[in-house]
Chain A
Amino acid sequence: METIAVYWESVIKTYGFQEACDLVLVNCDIREIGHLGEVLIDSQIESLKFALIQDIGSKMIFRCVVEQKAEAQVLEFFKDLEQTGIINGVNRQASVGLITFHGPHFGDRYGIAGAVYDALDGKINLIGAGFSGSVITLVMASREITDAKKLLSEAFEIPEYV
């Protein structure tokens, strides 16, 4: 069954807009997801902020964003796994920020990703992004969060919190 809907606004409505700074991004290339899964289970890491896996054909990229307090623990687990050859190229990037927002039927309507990329206009160095369901998560350097929010506010209705 298919339901046809009409929904169009000049500035796209959002339901929530969150930002976080001074996080840490950990990257690696992975060969096998099962062992990565076991490491993540054993790691006991609290508060995973964001994670991405992408199979780009030649390799699989894994990235996770965690709070600073978890950085040492995460790196220790991944360095141990690197010794086994299951993953390689473990590195980290500090002072990373996240912008997360969602809105009505973002996962069902066209034009949302285009609005995000047009708003950022190549002015923000996006380290990573996930558009999943109705939620958008953008990863960038912490120092770019304020500028990114300002650019996104041209296309998206960002609620003001009192």
Chain B
Amino acid sequence: MVENDKLRIGGIKYSGGIVQANLNYTASETDPGRLLFRLFTVQKINASMITHNTKGDEIYLSCCVSNNDRQKIEYPIEGYDTLKNRIWFREELGLLSIFPHKSRIHVLGYTLKAFSNVEIPVYAMATSISAITFVTRYQFMEKAVEALKSYFILPDHHTPFKPEFHVKQIQP
């Protein structure tokens, strides 16, 4: 794509390493999803990205948490029949966000095309009022940023791609 045709965006950010915890259940069950989120609260786990899809009677929940928090999920769920042996994990992932996207569907389209061109997988994606966030392999973060430059122009003094500090909440 020629430079003049590229879309202008404000920035790209990617996270540290995460795992994705996935839970599928039916609407007729007594909400294992709520139980999982209560477990997150008790264990002080922040889910940096969540996607929820209901199709018919089936509910699909994907929650991204930091690598360090995986054990805080795996061991406690053994004590819950509704969660035990039901949560499956994807490992070595990261979040990549593009902002702002200003409701332009082209930003989403070109991003998917850029990732597809270099065979970068997408495990989840959600738009928000300001950004589009993708879950992909952590090892491909820099490759993804380079692929995006084929279609997008960043400001000269854009913010760093990788976070320089991390905010973590503790219980007061």
Chain A positions near chain B (C-beta within 8 angstroms): 1-8, 18, 27, 32-43, 45-57, 60-61, 63, 100, 102, 105, 107-111, 113-114, 117-118, 122, 125-133, 135, 137
Contacts and interface: CB of A to CB of B under 8 A. Distances in A.
Given A34-B112, A46-B105, A110-B41, 4 more contacts: A33-B112, A46-B103, A122-B34, A130-B52
Given A48-B105, A133-B128, A37 B169 contact: no
Contacts of A41: 105-106, 109-110, 113
A54 B122 CA distance: 8
Contact of A107 (B38, B48, B106, B164): B48
Interface SS of A by simple majority: mixed
Nearest to A117: B34
Contacts of B158: none
Interface string B113-135: 11111000111111111111100
Nearest to B127: A51
Contacts of A105: 167, 169
Given A4-B170, A117-B37, A102 B105 contact: no
Contact of B55 (A4, A34, A61): A61
10 contacts: A4-B170, A27-B55, A37-B111, A52-B124, A55-B123, A57-B22, A133-B97, A133-B133, A135-B129, A135-B131
Contacts of A2: 165-166, 168
